[in-house]
Amino acid sequence: MIGFYAPATSPDGTLREPMPAWRRWASLMVLSVALLTVVMDLTVLNVALPSISADLKPSATQQLWMVDAYSLILAGLLIPMSALADRWGRRLLLILGFTLFGLASLLVLWAGSSAAVIGLRALLGLGGAMIMPTTLSMLRVVFTDPRERTLALSVWAAVSAAGAAVGPIVAGLLLEHFSWHAAFLVNVPPMVIAVVAALYLLPESRVAASGSWDLPGTLLAVGGVATLVWSIKEFGKHYVADGLGNAPAWIGLTVAAIALTLFVLRCLRRPDPLLDVRLFRRPQLTAGVLAALFSMLAMGGGLLLLAQWLQLVEGFSPSQAGYRLLPFAAGAILTAIPARSLVDLMGARTVMGLALLLPAAGFALFYFAPEPLSYAWVAAAMLLQGAGAGALAIGSAMIMSGSPQEKAGNAAAIEETAYDLGNVFGVALLGTIAAVVFTSRIGTQFPGADASLAEAMEVAQQTGSPELAAAAAAGFTEAIAQVGLVGMILLALAAAAVYLLTPRGLDIDMQH
């Protein structure tokens, strides 16, 4: 058997005896570093894409697939990979995921075409799907004490939320000194460390009575989730030109709805389902899933718009803009780490509601900020949006305590899917609203320069038109304000829903 650490485990995957404290916290550090690397890759290519385009000359479609291949594969495979971890062993799948992620990142040295880069991004998505849910279910195994587990999940949530904000910083710094290949190669050292550390630190854990593998269910889950993510992205990318008349997006959405409906029905009929959808009958688990979805919606949408504002309106370089995005990460750390103590003071229900009201307040700052929009207001808004990670932290604890030990992989897959969908939905929905507002402001004044802020600024530079540059900056700033209004309403409604779903007096340290 792979590895050097093999304590006795029960049939449900739990340890018969607790691990030593130093090994538990060292395991958390290893899992967090690996998770940070995987989450960073969700945003790192957005910064590296211009350099890749200059070198490889990809078509517009190839550029989109370079960005999307990772998230589509990652989202589609989260459920099957978590089920596979339950059957094969969680440590084994983690080590395979670490190895694949590191190897795919190293192979970029031989990637001389756009197709090769797309293929490597797909492999990274496969490795990420092995890693992300398994880190969460492994924490359930390693930390047997409920209070320690909640603190560990708070660290996991802070890393998950902060990773997306750290990605542009790392990419910007690397690209100022190295070629675009460095945006891939930076993944290799942490994955090598993770493989070695996992062998020595992590216990193996598998569920003895996992049942036979459900191939049709796997195909439905992969196809349904991946197609759903693609459809959301497709609506967002082409809404300005096509509105709701995007036929491919509607076809994809229909296919996703049919596939996911069949998947749910199949899971309800089988005694050993790939995903136990009956877990959603538990209101605390549903509340935790909604918290993950909407906290990442705030982060994903905010990062997309503010990265553009800082670079194209304020004129900062990628690395300078990256540093100015740090309040997202700071907000995540400030609320996720002490979230457990706040639950002792106020209760899980109140903490969950307040934690989602914080990003709602952040969006409100965009709407009510005085003109011209200053970085001080933006930094305060980012801090509050990142603070939604407090809801992600307690939501993770609610999801894990709201599911049986043998369903830890299922619970992890559900949360990670909500996490990924929240990020995608935030980018698509809030990005689309911004694009519609921007186009409506610029199109009437400067026809042909209204497709995007980047295109308007490029046209302004080529034609030497300071009027167009000023109008584009003002139009995009107004778009951010309108996004703030929509985001404020959405997050406030989400806060109310999560508050009502969270049982009164819920004890997150007790298994439900």
DSSP line for 359-418 = HHHHHHHHHHPPSSP-HHHHHHHHHHHHTTHHHHHHHHHHHHHTS-GGGHHHHHHHHHHH
Q: For residue 38, is it within any domain?
A: yes
- Helices first, then strands: H and E counts in the chain: 20, 0
189 and 320 share one domain:
yes
Distance CA 117, CA 62 (A): 9
pLDDT digits (tens, 9 = 90+) for 335-369: 888 888 888 888 889 988 888 999 999 999 999 98
For residue 357, give the amino acid letter: L
130 and 151 share one domain:
yes
Q: Judge contact between 292 and 413, C-beta under 8 A.
A: no
pLDDT digits (tens, 9 = 90+) for 40-89: 887 787 777 778 888 888 876 787 788 778 888 888 888 888 888 888 88
Distance CA 100, CA 92 (A): 12
The boundaries of the domain holding residue 29 are: 21-211+272-501
At 2 the pLDDT is: 47
Distance CA 121, CA 370 (A): 41
Q: For residue 506, is it within any domain?
A: no
Q: For residue 2, is it within any domain?
A: no
Distance CA 298, CA 384 (A): 10
Q: For residue 413, is it within any domain?
A: yes
194 and 231 share one domain:
no
- Average pLDDT along the chain: 83
Q: 146-177 vs 283-308: helix axis angle to the nearest 10?
A: 20
Q: pTM value?
A: 0.82
pLDDT digits (tens, 9 = 90+) for 278-311: 888 888 888 888 988 888 888 888 887 888 888 8
pLDDT digits (tens, 9 = 90+) for 200-245: 888 887 776 556 678 888 899 888 888 888 888 787 777 766 777 7
Most confident of 3-7, 224-228, 373-377, 471-475: 373-377
Q: For residue 6, is it within any domain?
A: no
256 and 393 share one domain:
no
The total of structural domains in the chain comes to 2
pLDDT at 443 over 70: no
CATH (domain of 464): 1.20.1250.20
404 and 458 share one domain:
yes
232 and 134 share one domain:
no
176 and 302 share one domain:
yes
Q: 389-401 vs 408-442: helix axis angle to the nearest 10?
A: 150
Half-sphere exposure (CA, 13 Å, Cβ side) for 142? 31
Q: For residue 378, is it within any domain?
A: yes
